[in-house]
Structure 1
Amino acid sequence: MKFKLILLLSFFSLLGFSQTGTVSGTILDKEYNDEPLPFANVSVKGTSKGASTDENGKYTINNLEPGNYTLVIGYVGYETKEIPFTLSAGETKVINETLAASGVQLKDIVVQATVSKEKETALLMEQQKAIEMKQSIGSQELSRKGISDVATAVAKTTGVSKQEGSGNVYVRGLGDRYNSTSINGLPVPSNNPEKKNIDLGLFSTDIVEYISIDKVYSSRIAGDFAGGNINISSKNYKGNGLFELSLGSTINTNAVNQNGDFYLQDGPSYSGFTNYGIPSNPLNAYNFENSLTPTNEAPFAGNIGLRAGKSYDIGEEGRLSLFANASFSNGFEYREGINQVLSAQGAEIKSFNQKRYTYKTNSTGMFNANYKLNNKHKLAYNFLFVNSSNQSKDTYFGSDRDYENVDLLVQRGTYVQNTLFVNQLLGNHEVTDKIDFDWGVSYNTIKSDMPDRTQNKLDSPIGANEFSLAMATTTDNHRYFQNLTENEAAANLALSYKFKEDEDGNNKGKITLGYNGRFKKRDFEATQFNFPILSSQLDIIQDPNNLDTFFNQTNYSNGLFSITTFNGTTKPQTYNGEQNIHAGFGSVEYKFNDKLSAIVGLRFEKVFQRVDWKTQLDATGGFNSFDRNEFLPNATVKYVLNDKQNLRLGASKTYTLPQFKERALFIYEDVTEVKIGNPYLYPSENYNLDLKWEFFPKNDEVISLAAFGKYILNPINEITLASSTNDISFINTGDYGYVYGLEVEIRKNIFKAEDDKNRLSAGLNTSIMKTEQELNSEKVRNETDYNVNLTDSKAGFTGASNLLINADLTYNHNFKNEGNVMGTFAYSYYSDRLYALGVEQKGNLVDKGLGTLDFILKTKLNKKFGIDFSAKNILNPRFKRVQENSTEDITVLSYKKGVFLNLGVNYQF
């Protein structure tokens, strides 16, 4: 009887349980053309029942008793909807809703601050919700800080600094070879023969929706990683119509203060597009196209930009969104200062006063097409074209040990044109409620040309200021032509499966399996035409600004100079690189409870790299290759302390590849330094550990503290090969090195009115780090052909600063007519950092610490018309590179960049 009673009670309990109901549905984003809205909050009013939408906008709330309820749906910066509903016993109620940004007056809406997912609050929410450690900077923050290019944008994030005079960045003290760059998750080739990564300064922030910086490794990222992966998410327009025109003008105070004397080389066009190269029959006639007489330009720059977008409904669920951007900008710069090479004892080997006149252009075109077939299937095509040019006219005046008892004048004109084409096709598919399939393919091409770099040397009796042509070697007077073409195809495939639902119907786990492939080929060639001069002509006075009077066809025919190459023919020096990487990866993401989640992954990569060369250092030609298998485990753990605080831990193994140019036996000569490849260079291995605490006081505020450490086997460095010259190469300089440090980030509102008309906010991020590596001269001698004696047995990593600071203060005021004014002061600082390691008792080269201050003022007079002003590098600090010495550091490079002033207007039709 007792057993029957228990069985009867159990039956009624089960019957009662089966009579509970469920509410589920999909939440869409009106601002993004009804795309799924992840991380929206859905709750049943007056109860503890609730859920967050997943990445597909879906939610499920189980175990509701029959009755009348109100469903509350909200998302930061969007409207909040309250929807009454009645639930019957055993019923599954489906409630689908679409949320719009706040400020739209609809029934049952609670108005909040206007925000979109590319803005700071949305990125902070994604950072808080994700298991992986994320750091992003969106287009709102880019605009607020007046940032015009991606390199500067990345340098505003915690633990990242930008190399002076370039678009190369250092992440946690680790430079170019330790980082990687992608667009929409797919790789892009480099524009620089010496660099792994493309110059991030080429990318205008007009094409950016947000930039993410992954400093903690996960299986989806390529294994050639130690510092960080920088991913540019291209602008994805989803509105109903946009057409915007912007105009602006920029001046550099150094450039305009040259009293109308701003000199550039002849040949390159104002637009940055050129089409000239090696002339026909160059060894038997002097018929080079460009004059050696410099041109005088007015150093006033400008920019123009057009943006347009439109979306179209296709069928009942389909939507096609188109976006295009076209822009052109240019800029003039001038700098002057010391540039010299010293011996180990500090004696001057080369000592110049350098003047550099620079003209830069950037032309960008982008087209995106995003087609949503329905909420489960999406396709996207991205096309990007970037053409950039950098033209510099350099004069070096001073002394050179090879030219005794004279003043030496070196003139060099350099022009580089980079043309990048990016083509991407991507797809996202929800196969079932549990299975998703994402894919992407790309084909990219970069062409980098240095046509007709010119160099001439002249000397004068000390103080006489009357110059004649000089020649210590046959290469002193030359024209140089360089061409690089790199093609890269890539593919990403990822299949994910969700498993194990909890009592509320939410999936606790996800398994992801995928494949990545990268196939890169580089062709490089360079030809230098040297002009040996008849000795009797070396005493004839010449006008340095009119050397066409000597270097011409008549004087060549008369034998006053000749034309030679390294091999006596027009066949160029060459090196070719091939790199193929096949990668398979898998990861398991699991939520153990409301507080503890983790992702564990493993990536396998098969890496093949080969470099072939035929150069002046090896005229018969040679090659070097390696084939490696890399197993890369990784794990990330997230622990939720409370609804505003997280604790995260990440650990991984990665590797670092040497680059083609670093391994090719090729020599590149600058005026004060020479770089030589090292065929014996091989990859490093990296072990990474991260611990991070983060606190989100409000939806637009964050306070975080992170500790990190990296242990690197066989680190690669640039070192000086000899004390009498400034020859630099790339070497595995020791068995190990390590990096450790702390990162702090604070974003806080100092004052914020309830109606959000007035706001004063501040941001601060700082990194304190320590880098150290073993230096082993015997290892270098055993593994290479270089007989090197490193000055020290230990040193930091090249490019690393012990302290990085970024701070900003922003005031924002909104007007009633949809206008606003926003002013921002932004400050950045990096402490001393190592440029190159010294040898043979010669001290290290160190870039001294430097701080910059910018002011940005952006106004919207009304909804359509805006005026912007910026003043950058206001403090105009002096950049200084020193050679460490036992008694005192000696300056080897020094200059000021000047202040950059910009005024622009924009109008949205």
Structure 2
Amino acid sequence: MKRILPGLFLLVLVVFATAGQAQGPVKFSGQVKDTVSATPVAGATLTITGAGTFNTQTDSLGRFVFNIPVGNYNLSVSNVGYVTYTEAVVINNQDNAFKEINLIKDNKTLQGIVVTSKVNRESETRLLTEQKKAVVAIQSIGAQELSRKGISNAETGVTKISGVSKQDGLKNVFVRGLGDRYNSTTLNGFAIPSEDPEFKNISLSFFTNDMIQSIGVNKVFTASMNGDVGGALIDIRSKELTGRSELQVSLSSSINSQVPGSSFYLPDGVNKLGYSFASKGPAQKDQQFITDYSAFNTSLDPIKKSTPINSSIAISGGKKFSNRHSFYLVGAMNNTFQYEEGVTRFITATNPQDPYRDLTYQQSERNVSHLLMGNLQLNFEKGKLFYNSMYMHTGSAYAADFYGKESEIFQVAQDYNYEGLIRRLQINDNTLFINQLMWSGNFSDRLTYNIGAGVNYISGEEPDRRILMFPSIGNGMVQLAAGEGRNQRFNSMITETAVLPKVNVQYKLLPNSEKVSYVELGYDGRISSKDFSAPIYNLIWAGGQANSPKFDRNNIELDQYFNQENLTNGSFRVEHFNDKYDVKRNNHGAYIDLVHQLNGKLTLNAGLRADNIFTKINYEVNRGVNIGSNTIEGFFFSPSLNAKYELNSEHQLRAGVSRTFTLPQDKEISPFIYLGIDGNENGNPNLEVSTNYNFDLKWDWYISNSEMLTLNGFYKYIVDPIARVDQGNSAGLRTYDNVSDNAVAAGVELELRKQILSLASNKHRFSLGMNGSYIYTNVKLDPQFFVQNTSSQLEGAAPYILNADVTHNLTTDKLKMTSTLVFNYLSDKVHTIGTRGYNNLIEESVSTLDFVSLINVNKHLGFSFKAKNLLNPDYKLTRKGATETNIPAAIIRSYKKGMTFDLGVSYKF
């Protein structure tokens, strides 16, 4: 039934869209040309006003299409360097004949200056035009669509693209069933490092909609892309000035439905702005036992907060100067609070209904982000200089109490059903500083170039994480655990500096032809250094379990026991050890890419990329038990062949075949053990590089400038796939392995954008957007240690994904209002592949529903209302037992996120 419902919903939406077509608009199309040369004018802006306003731009051949209701309109056509063309047009009941428009050059505008224009890639219509022109299949979501759907960051934005999903609790996304290690992230074409040692890619939630112009998801490989990609290259484009000047201020306030009435606590160590001031621990880092406790400047007890309210502010603007240069600035801060209650469990493979960990928990969390971004564009006669600088900071802090049975760590409480309390206070403080410089220009009419470099610095800190354990002693009382490793203060810091040079030159093979034909040569590199350090401090009560402090479990105060005085007099000891590793990279890639249009319909793209990879990791972790180094080096060749065939002006076919590779992540080849809420993970130094063979076939029907229907099929064959697996031990450890000789990922993706209804002389317009995916993944497992399963889906791969939105636009003389209902469905998927008798850990299906309404009272003042996560579903991890197949799966973790209601106001000066 879970598989049938998404398909039925998809069918209903398609029928609804088709049924609406009978009442929909009619087609008005044409071509814009230069009056003198009769050559097509690409990028011209067409505006139709009358019963509503409609905009579009011409494609590479000067063509345009409108789908609008019948009526009388005024048509305006403009382009830089031309006199604006105006004409009254009448749209009849029947589709109008093809109309040719001729523009006259404006010599006064061109004389003595360099005319520059920018394409507004925030526009849904413009991005659809670019998708149509591209040789390979690309998908993009722009700022306009992000705003319409109430999307707050890039992470949520990319999940609205077909074939893309997110595994809850992880910071990164899955593309066509392939997760973090198979994807790459860039900003304006430059690679970005991760702020978290757990991930290869930076968290996309870093990038808020305040700074996003568009997000492109490139699922089809070309030689100019990084060869270390099997799923997709996700490229975020930062906002730029598109007009002559702009200034906007936005404010909003919201609340999560689970926060009011909750007992909301946060850890000590974060100031009002969301920056951490928690100490990094004592300086005596070369000693096993430290004597200076005063260096810890934060409390072991959480701080109670009154009902907190979410808030955000953003200021953006820019200006053009000297009639050719421009700058753009963005500043933003977001502050959100969440509260959740749930359960977390560990089970044995043979008896899942009797977990050895069975805890209920309450967790309060605060998330803060800060953004400062500026870019400068200087346009000269022989080239263009673009400089972009960005500072980003994100901070999170949470306090969580877990109470219940835990037979491994609460053995001393065996007379009280092995019950106890675990308290976790955690802060994450991440900073990213990016600088990018790019110079582009023409050596001649046939030869163009781009040369630039990026310098990234990133710092990810987890300062003074506090984990404390209290076995039960009955009657609502608990006692501080006295055993080694039961109470811990932990500090980790990861820093990375990377230099990213890149250069390419492009040579037109047919300079006097309208056919697209060029060869491109390029180079890009990454020279980086990463350092990870994690000092760990075990707090050991000297008097043993019998003499440790006792508390009412609802009133625990630890600072009176853990302080400098009691350390000095021997009441407790602080054992210290330091885990660390460092990573050096010296990666260089060169490529050749050929694009040639054979005739008016067929365009080919052939490329070859060579990557010289050198990555070395040195580690000393787990109290010095694991000391060593790993090196990944070698040449990796990545060929690609893509083709585009235009059946006619509306229908296109694209096909692609390529070979790429996937490197293990840093943390996957370091045996460092990370203590997580749902279990612990450590790396595997013996991992091998994966190889990916990729095949794509896509059909596009561009119904109009804003409407489309696409069908995409893909097949991936992965050699030596890597996946997260259970180690099958009592510690609940998970690790990473080349789980098989090969794996397969294949599927189909369907996307539709359609205007479905127009009422009251076009004052009310309804449109539908939807995409659905079926993704089949399979990996044959090694029977030597995958006892329970002989095959499995890939980790994180959701077989069924559905996104749908219905938008209502109301346009009157006084206001414009856009209201959108946004739905998302993800089917069951594998969270962790089970080994050594364990079945797979499953993340169960989830459906979400959001409502967003944007109101522009006039050209200056706007309001917004957002209701997010209206269905408030249960998020569940489940697992079945090894032998009792008829018994329902055990719930390993379950919680709700709550609904969020947001009110905002913006003003454009």
On whether the aligned pair clears a TM of 0.5, the verdict is: yes
Check if 1:908 corresponds to 2:908. Answer: yes
| Correspondence for 2:269 among 264, 267, 270 | 267
Aligned to 2:484: 474
Aligned to 2:375: 368
Aligned to 1:856: 852
Aligned to 2:780: 774
Code of the aligned partner of 1:903 = L
Check if 1:39 corresponds to 2:64. Answer: no
Residue aligned with 1:531, SS: strand
Deviation at 1:673, TM superposition (A): 1.0
Q: Flag the 1:671–1:123 CA change in 2: closer, same or farther, 3 A.
A: closer
User: Pairwise mapping of residues 343-742 of structure 1 onto structure 2 (< 5 A)?
Assistant: 343-345=348-350, 346=352, 347-374=354-381, 377-402=383-408, 403=410, 404-406=414-416, 407-462=419-474, 464-471=475-482, 473-500=483-510, 505-533=513-541, 534-535=543-544, 538=547, 540-543=549-552, 544-566=555-577, 572-616=578-622, 618-619=624-625, 621-742=627-748
C-alpha separation between the residues in 2 aligned to 1:29 and 1:57?
8
C-alpha separation between the residues in 2 aligned to 1:369 and 1:579?
30
Assess if the C-alpha contact under 8 Å between 1:509 and 1:589 holds in 2.
Answer: yes
Question: Structure 2 stretches of 5 or more lacking a match?
Answer: 1-35, 47-56, 65-78, 90-98, 111-118, 285-289
Shift >6 Å, 4+ stretches: 25-31, 56-59, 94-99
C-alpha separation between the residues in 1 aligned to 2:86 and 2:695?
43
State how many pairs are aligned.
Answer: 809
Superimposed CA distance per residue, residues 487-544 of structure 1 (whole angstroms, 9 cap, x where no aligned partner): 1111221111111357xx3244211111111122210000111011121654542255
Check if 1:253 corresponds to 2:257. Answer: yes
User: Pairwise mapping of residues 173-252 of structure 1 onto structure 2 (< 5 A)?
Assistant: 173-252=177-256
Deviation at 1:126, TM superposition (A): 1.2
C-alpha separation between the residues in 2 aligned to 1:207 and 1:681?
37
Q: Flag the 1:98–1:583 CA change in 2: closer, same or farther, 3 A.
A: farther
Residue aligned with 1:642, SS: coil
Deviation at 1:394, TM superposition (A): 1.1
Residue aligned with 1:223, SS: coil
C-alpha separation between the residues in 2 aligned to 1:705 and 1:83?
36
Assess if the C-alpha contact under 8 Å between 2:720 and 2:739 holds in 1.
Answer: yes
C-alpha separation between the residues in 1 aligned to 2:874 and 2:651?
42
Assess if the C-alpha contact under 8 Å between 1:607 and 1:629 holds in 2.
Answer: yes
Superimposed CA distance per residue, residues 813-849 of structure 1 (whole angstroms, 9 cap, x where no aligned partner): 12224x3111000001100010111122111101000
Residue aligned with 1:206, SS: coil
C-alpha separation between the residues in 2 aligned to 1:262 and 1:416?
18
Code of the aligned partner of 1:722 = G
User: Pairwise mapping of residues 789-800 of structure 1 onto structure 2 (< 5 A)?
Assistant: 789-800=786-797
Residue aligned with 2:509, SS: strand
C-alpha separation between the residues in 2 aligned to 1:281 and 1:178?
39
Superimposed CA distance per residue, residues 260-293 of structure 1 (whole angstroms, 9 cap, x where no aligned partner): x211111111212224423445610321211122
C-alpha separation between the residues in 1 aligned to 2:657 and 2:81?
31
> Which stretch has the larger CA shift, 268-277 or 738-747?
268-277
Assess if the C-alpha contact under 8 Å between 1:470 and 1:538 holds in 2.
Answer: no
Deviation at 1:553, TM superposition (A): 2.3
Q: Flag the 1:43–1:278 CA change in 2: closer, same or farther, 3 A.
A: closer
Q: Flag the 1:221–1:853 CA change in 2: closer, same or farther, 3 A.
A: same
Assess if the C-alpha contact under 8 Å between 1:713 and 1:737 holds in 2.
Answer: yes
Superimposed CA distance per residue, residues 635-682 of structure 1 (whole angstroms, 9 cap, x where no aligned partner): 111111111000110100000011111111211123441111111112
C-alpha separation between the residues in 1 aligned to 2:582 and 2:677?
26
C-alpha separation between the residues in 2 aligned to 1:671 and 1:150?
25
| Correspondence for 2:345 among 335, 340, 356 | 340
| Correspondence for 2:332 among 327, 336, 351 | 327
Residue aligned with 1:840, SS: coil
Deviation at 1:98, TM superposition (A): 8.8
Assess if the C-alpha contact under 8 Å between 1:320 and 1:372 holds in 2.
Answer: yes
Assess if the C-alpha contact under 8 Å between 1:529 and 1:563 holds in 2.
Answer: yes
Code of the aligned partner of 2:550 = I
Deviation at 1:333, TM superposition (A): 0.6
Assess if the C-alpha contact under 8 Å between 1:27 and 1:58 holds in 2.
Answer: no
| Correspondence for 2:300 among 282, 292, 301 | 292
| Correspondence for 1:308 among 293, 304, 317 | 317
Aligned to 1:131: 135
- Structure 2 length normalisation: TM-score? 0.85
Q: Flag the 1:616–1:724 CA change in 2: closer, same or farther, 3 A.
A: closer
Q: Flag the 1:508–1:361 CA change in 2: closer, same or farther, 3 A.
A: closer
Q: Flag the 1:689–1:71 CA change in 2: closer, same or farther, 3 A.
A: farther
Check if 1:870 corresponds to 2:858. Answer: no
Code of the aligned partner of 2:348 = S
Code of the aligned partner of 2:445 = D
Q: Flag the 1:620–1:883 CA change in 2: closer, same or farther, 3 A.
A: closer
Check if 1:810 corresponds to 2:807. Answer: yes
Deviation at 1:26, TM superposition (A): 7.2
Assess if the C-alpha contact under 8 Å between 1:733 and 1:777 holds in 2.
Answer: no
Superimposed CA distance per residue, residues 596-655 of structure 1 (whole angstroms, 9 cap, x where no aligned partner): 111010001111111001112645731110211111110111111111000110100000
Assess if the C-alpha contact under 8 Å between 2:40 and 2:61 holds in 1.
Answer: no
Assess if the C-alpha contact under 8 Å between 1:357 and 1:392 holds in 2.
Answer: yes
Residue aligned with 1:142, SS: helix
Q: Flag the 1:382–1:29 CA change in 2: closer, same or farther, 3 A.
A: farther
C-alpha separation between the residues in 1 aligned to 2:846 and 2:293?
46
C-alpha separation between the residues in 2 aligned to 1:405 and 1:162?
42
Superimposed CA distance per residue, residues 337-369 of structure 1 (whole angstroms, 9 cap, x where no aligned partner): 110100002131211002111100000110011
| Larger RCO (alpha carbons 8 Å, 6+ apart) | 2
> Which stretch has the larger CA shift, 621-630 or 213-222?
621-630
Q: CA RMSD in A?
A: 2.6
Residue aligned with 2:244, SS: coil
C-alpha separation between the residues in 1 aligned to 2:492 and 2:806?
45
C-alpha separation between the residues in 1 aligned to 2:60 and 2:759?
25
Residue aligned with 2:567, SS: helix
> Which stretch has the larger CA shift, 667-676 or 359-368?
667-676
Q: Flag the 1:617–1:285 CA change in 2: closer, same or farther, 3 A.
A: closer
Q: Flag the 1:204–1:71 CA change in 2: closer, same or farther, 3 A.
A: closer
Question: Structure 1 stretches of 5 or more lacking a match?
Answer: 1-20, 32-36, 45-55, 60-69, 75-79, 86-93, 100-114, 567-571, 779-787
Code of the aligned partner of 2:397 = Q
Aligned to 2:5: none
Check if 1:158 corresponds to 2:157. Answer: no
C-alpha separation between the residues in 1 aligned to 2:148 and 2:109?
29
C-alpha separation between the residues in 2 aligned to 1:648 and 1:26?
25
> Which stretch has the larger CA shift, 292-301 or 278-287?
278-287
C-alpha separation between the residues in 1 aligned to 2:766 and 2:877?
38
- Structure 1 length normalisation: TM-score? 0.85
C-alpha separation between the residues in 1 aligned to 2:681 and 2:668?
9
Assess if the C-alpha contact under 8 Å between 1:28 and 1:98 holds in 2.
Answer: no
Assess if the C-alpha contact under 8 Å between 1:286 and 1:553 holds in 2.
Answer: yes
Aligned to 2:890: 890
> Which stretch has the larger CA shift, 511-520 or 532-541?
532-541
Residue aligned with 2:145, SS: helix
C-alpha separation between the residues in 2 aligned to 1:334 and 1:27?
52
